[in-house]
């Protein structure tokens, strides 16, 4: 990947493309690339939907190669939701295709002078930009269906739905999966709104005629790749739990631990958890003829294969297998224990182009405001339809939980830096609370997944209910995660590399063999720190202070059942996280 594609959406006569050399961005991939470009080229105080913001789409360092599970895509910008830097990570096919086309990044710049929409087609012969007027107002599914009829079934699509066109702060960027369905999303932070502000409805990437990226040391790469894949297969989480039940295997685990946020974070256990658990979901999908046993990946080259397919009672496709965060957001958080309702809400989110975590949290806040009752599945569907329709109420909800709470006078809104908390209550899983508070991204479990150690005993054990050791745990995980996000590797590899030193060493050897520059564990740590430093510097320049690295006050005051515990990590301790 030796070039960057820049598309100036403010050019006279419509968007214009040019290809640049990597320059100072040489050697960067994924989150390292997106955060470096945003930090260097985007004014921190700019309006997120204005001409000065940029949307950076970057495959990982290993994407497009034979490296196992290396097809994650990073999408970065200044977030319209948080006002800070954002890297949103997605699976799907696009990263692998971009890697083979040789692009280290696609950067959307400027802002159109009219409200026209465009599509960008990229293949080995170059770039073509055409009107997408016929796609205006379409959801992601209809958009992909129309594009596939024109470009075929072997390309990958990067698209936005109605929410992105309406520039909603909960809008996602959709990436097609191996079945060419828009089910993989760079969901968090409103990246879809930024793509919409640039007037780009779709990016089509076609690697026909391109070869797989070659490693610098083929023999060492092959051996390291084999050892790495074997390590993933032998770990109980990546080799058994995730492939068998998908990510929703966590529902019963977290609920039993008392950390499952229920009815807008009021309690830590949901009475209906068993009805929406991964085990129940897999059995239902198998009964209906779906891939309930999570038999395929979201992109080619995945060896964990935690994805599946959800069909309705009549055997019709509804959506991909709803993931843990989605099942929680539209399920337990809203008091809903009907998998068919949850699957429909997931399908609607994917089609409209919305972050399922943000929308589930938003509907929970709306239920607290009296717009629907907890447990009312049809009420939740009606609220989400308002978002897709762009009604005045829908515009409020589509801009997230913080805005919704503000408009309807709800005090208890579970956000940090205006981004909704995911599916772990920080009082019962205190390490993840530290991550929510301090990550540059706003509340985000993937930034430093302390749940692994707090609840699952992966990489050691730190008592989930006590504040001791949580800052150090979160710090180390945030550093490691930033580095992983740069490679294009799926975050789920963390389970195996934390528990199995041989698997971690195989990963380090794999990267070194591919790049031709041998790595050490210290190099990986340095990479993670450099990414976080870039992001922290951007946020500081954007006006963030230590006061923004805090959970809402009620997490320190309201004890969470069943453990009757509050969040105990002090502000002073939180402020030490970036002291390296």
- Output the DSSP codes for 49-85: TSTT--EEEEE-TTTTSS-TT---EEEEEE-TTTSSE
CB of 388 closer than 8 Å to CB of 162: yes
* Interatomic CA distance for residues 474 and 453, integer angstroms: 10
Q: Does residue 201 sit in helix, strand or coil?
A: strand
Whether residues 15 and 111 fall in one domain: yes
Whether residues 64 and 185 fall in one domain: yes
* Residue-wise pLDDT tens digits, 49-69: 999 999 999 999 999 999 999
CB of 272 closer than 8 Å to CB of 262: no
Look up tokens 């979901």; give the residue. Answer: 281
The mean pLDDT value for 191-213 works out to: 97
Is 551 contained in some domain? no
Is 57 contained in some domain? yes
**Which conformational region is residue 390 in: left (phi greater than 0), alpha (psi within -120 to 50 degrees), or beta?**
left
In a 13 Å sphere around the CA of 445, the CA atoms on its Cβ side amount to 19
Beta strands in 195-277, from DSSP E residues, in sequence order: 200-205
Whether residues 28 and 167 fall in one domain: yes
pLDDT at 438 over 90: yes
pLDDT at 207 over 70: yes
Whether residues 287 and 377 fall in one domain: yes
To 10 degrees, the CA torsion angle through 91, 97, 101, 105? -20
Whether residues 56 and 178 fall in one domain: yes
Domain C-terminal end among 401, 425, 449 = 425
* Residue-wise pLDDT tens digits, 458-485: 989 999 999 999 999 999 999 999 999 9
The mean pLDDT value for 430-454 works out to: 97
Length of the chain (residues): 580
The mean pLDDT value for 255-272 works out to: 98
Whether residues 197 and 285 fall in one domain: no
**What's the pLDDT band for 291 if we cut at 50, 70, 90?**
low
Which one, of 452, 417, 413, lies nearest residue 431 by Cα?
452
Tell me which DSSP letter residue 375 carries: T
Is 477 contained in some domain? no
pLDDT at position 295, please? 64
* Interatomic CA distance for residues 174 and 449, integer angstroms: 24
Which one, of 148, 36, 29, lies nearest residue 95 by Cα?
29
pLDDT at position 139, please? 98
Is 158 contained in some domain? yes
Whether residues 187 and 320 fall in one domain: no
% the chain with pLDDT above 90 = 89
Whether residues 16 and 150 fall in one domain: yes
pLDDT at position 307, please? 85
pLDDT at 528 over 60: yes
Whether residues 42 and 161 fall in one domain: yes
State the first-to-last Cα distance of the chain, in angstroms, to the nearest integer. Answer: 32
Domain range spanning residue 380? 261-425
Average pLDDT over the chain, rounded to an integer? 95
Diameter of the chain measured on Cα atoms: 62
* Residue-wise pLDDT tens digits, 114-159: 999 999 999 999 999 999 999 999 999 999 999 999 999 999 999 9
Contacts of 442 (CB under 8 A, 6+ apart): 79, 81, 82, 84, 188, 189, 415, 416, 417, 418, 419
Question: Among 179-193, 290-304, 332-346, whose mean pLDDT is lowest?
Answer: 290-304
pTM above 0.85, yes or no: yes
Q: Does residue 107 sit in helix, strand or coil?
A: strand
Alpha carbon of 501 to those of 221, 494, 497, 510: distances in Å?
18, 11, 6, 14
Is 156 contained in some domain? yes
Whether residues 273 and 371 fall in one domain: yes
To 10 degrees, the CA torsion angle through 237, 242, 243, 249? 120
Is 39 contained in some domain? yes
Domain C-terminal end among 399, 425, 451 = 425
For helices 430-438 and 470-487, the axis angle rounded to 10 degrees is 60
Q: In this structure, is the dihedral angle defined by the CA atoms of residues 88, 89, 95 and 99, taken in order, positive or negative?
A: positive
- What are the helix (H) ranges across 115-241? 140-151, 162-165, 191-197, 218-234, 236
Tell me which DSSP letter residue 143 carries: H
Give φ, ψ of 554 to 5 degrees: -65, -20
Q: In this structure, is the dihedral angle defined by the CA atoms of residues 124, 129, 130 and 132, taken in order, positive or negative?
A: positive
Strand partners for 401: none
Strand partners for 58: 74
401 burial via Cβ count (<10 Å: 0-12, 13-18, 19+): buried
Q: Does residue 438 sit in helix, strand or coil?
A: helix
CATH of the domain at 62: 3.60.9.10
Q: Does residue 211 sit in helix, strand or coil?
A: coil
pLDDT at 338 over 60: yes
Is 532 contained in some domain? no
The mean pLDDT value for 198-210 works out to: 97
CATH of the domain at 273: 1.10.569.10
For helices 377-389 and 339-352, the axis angle rounded to 10 degrees is 10
| Strand-strand pairing, 173-175 and 85-90 | unpaired
Give the burial string for 49-77 (b: 16+ CB within 10 Å, else e): bebbbbbbbbbbbbbbbbbbbbbbbbbbb
Number of independent structural domains in the chain: 2
Q: Which two tokens stand for residue 41?
A: 């080229």
Whether residues 197 and 279 fall in one domain: no
Contacts of 52 (CB under 8 A, 6+ apart): 42, 43, 46
| Strand-strand pairing, 118-123 and 200-205 | parallel
Q: Which two tokens stand for residue 501?
A: 């030193």
The mean pLDDT value for 310-315 works out to: 92
Is 83 contained in some domain? yes
**What's the pLDDT band for 292 if we cut at 50, 70, 90?**
low
CB of 362 closer than 8 Å to CB of 401: yes
Which one, of 121, 312, 324, lies nearest residue 208 by Cα?
121
Q: In this structure, is the dihedral angle defined by the CA atoms of residues 335, 248, 276 and 377, taken in order, positive or negative?
A: positive
Whether residues 14 and 125 fall in one domain: yes
**Preceding amide of 60 cis, omega within 30:** no
Domain C-terminal end among 189, 205, 221 = 205
Q: Which residue would you say has higher pLDDT here, 202 or 242? A: 202
Q: Does residue 407 sit in helix, strand or coil?
A: helix
pLDDT at position 290, please? 64
């Amino acid at each position: 990947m030796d070039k960057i594609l820049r598309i100036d959406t403010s050019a006279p006569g419509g968007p214009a493309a040019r290809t640049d050399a990597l320059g100072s961005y040489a050697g960067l991939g994924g989150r390292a690339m997106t955060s470096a470009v945003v930090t260097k080229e985007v004014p921190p105080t700019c309006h997120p939907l204005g001409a000065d913001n940029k949307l950076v789409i970057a495959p990982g360092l290993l994407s497009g190669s034979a490296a196992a599970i290396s097809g994650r895509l990073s999408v970065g910008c200044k977030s319209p939701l948080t006002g800070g830097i954002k890297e949103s990570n997605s699976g799907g096919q696009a990263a692998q295709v971009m890697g083979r086309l040789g692009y280290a990044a696609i950067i959307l710049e400027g802002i159109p002078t009219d409200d026209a929409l465009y599509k960008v087609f990229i293949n080995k012969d170059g770039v073509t930009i055409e009107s997408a007027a016929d796609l205006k107002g379409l959801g992601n599914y209809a958009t992909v269906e129309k594009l596939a009829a024109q470009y075929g079934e072997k390309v990958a699509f990067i698209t936005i739905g109605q929410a992105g066109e309406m520039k909603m702060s909960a809008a996602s960027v959709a990436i097609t999966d191996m079945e060419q369905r828009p089910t993989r999303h760079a969901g968090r932070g409103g990246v879809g709104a930024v793509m919409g502000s640039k007037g780009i409805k779709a990016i089509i990437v076609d690697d026909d005629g391109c070869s797989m990226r070659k490693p610098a040391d083929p023999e060492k790469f092959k051996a390291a790749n084999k050892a790495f894949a074997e390590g993933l297969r032998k770990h109980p989480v990546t080799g058994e739990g995730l492939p068998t039940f998908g990510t929703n295997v966590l529902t019963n685990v977290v609920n039993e631990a008392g950390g499952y946020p229920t009815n807008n974070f009021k309690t830590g256990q949901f009475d209906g958890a068993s009805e929406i658990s991964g085990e129940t979901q897999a059995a239902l999908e198998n009964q209906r003829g779906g891939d309930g046993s999570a038999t395929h990946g979201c992109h080619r080259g995945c060896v964990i294969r935690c994805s599946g397919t959800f069909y309705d009672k009549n055997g019709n496709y509804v959506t991909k297998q709803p993931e843990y965060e989605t099942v929680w957001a539209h399920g337990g958080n809203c008091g809903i224990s009907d998998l068919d309702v949850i699957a429909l809400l997931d399908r609607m989110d994917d089609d409209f182009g919305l972050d399922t975590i943000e929308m589930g949290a938003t509907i929970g806040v709306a239920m607290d405001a009296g717009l629907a009752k907890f447990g009312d599945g049809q009420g939740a569907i009606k609220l989400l339809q308002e978002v897709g329709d762009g009604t005045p109420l829908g515009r409020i909800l589509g801009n997230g939980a913080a805005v919704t709470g503000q408009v309807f006078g709800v005090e208890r809104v579970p956000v940090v830096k205006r981004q909704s908390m995911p599916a772990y209550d920080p009082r019962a899983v205190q390490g993840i609370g530290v991550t929510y508070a301090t990550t540059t991204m706003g509340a985000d479990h993937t930034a430093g997944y302390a749940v692994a150690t707090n609840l699952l005993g992966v990489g050691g054990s730190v008592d989930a209910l006590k504040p001791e050791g949580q800052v150090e745990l979160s710090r180390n995980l945030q550093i490691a995660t930033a580095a992983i996000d740069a490679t294009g590797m799926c975050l789920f590899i963390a389970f195996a590399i934390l528990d199995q030193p041989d698997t971690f060493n195989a990963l380090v050897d794999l990267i070194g063999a591919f790049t031709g520059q041998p790595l050490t564990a210290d190099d990986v740590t340095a990479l993670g720190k450099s990414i976080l430093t870039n992001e922290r510097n951007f946020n500081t320049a954007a006006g963030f202070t230590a006061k923004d690295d805090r959970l809402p006050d009620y997490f320190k005051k309201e004890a969470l059942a069943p453990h009757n515990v509050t969040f105990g990590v002090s502000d002073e301790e939180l402020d030490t996280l970036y002291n390296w």
